[in-house]
């Protein structure tokens, strides 16, 4: 999951601080997600998936398909 979070963020050219503001968390909290020292709550994962327009399954590594089934 950490690699996918980092890749999605970098594809958009964003900093960890910018994503942290969007998620209403501290920059350190977000850094911990990318380092896998902490796992984000479901609410944060859903917010990130919506922002990056990818599925939760993609972010968590359950699939390599980025598409969101709607």
Q: List the chain domain ranges.
A: 2-59
Distance CA(64)–CA(59), nearest Å, equals 9
pLDDT at residue 65, as a whole number: 87
Q: What is the pLDDT of residues 13-66, one digit of tens each?
A: 999 999 999 999 999 999 999 999 999 999 999 999 999 999 999 999 999 988
Task: Write down the pTM of the prediction.
Answer: 0.85
Assign 23 to helix, strand or coil: helix
Is the domain 2-59 a CATH 3.90.1560.10 member? no
- Kindly tell me if the per-residue pLDDT of 69 is higher than 90: no
Give burial (CB, 10 Å; 0-12/13-18/19+) of 20: middle
């Amino acid at each position: 999951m950490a690699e996918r979070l980092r890749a999605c963020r970098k594809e958009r050219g964003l900093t960890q601080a910018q994503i942290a503001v969007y998620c209403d968390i501290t920059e350190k909290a977000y850094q911990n997600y990318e380092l896998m020292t902490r796992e984000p709550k479901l609410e944060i994962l859903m917010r990130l998936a919506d922002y990056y327009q990818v599925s939760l399954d993609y972010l968590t590594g359950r699939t390599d398909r980025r598409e969101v089934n709607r």
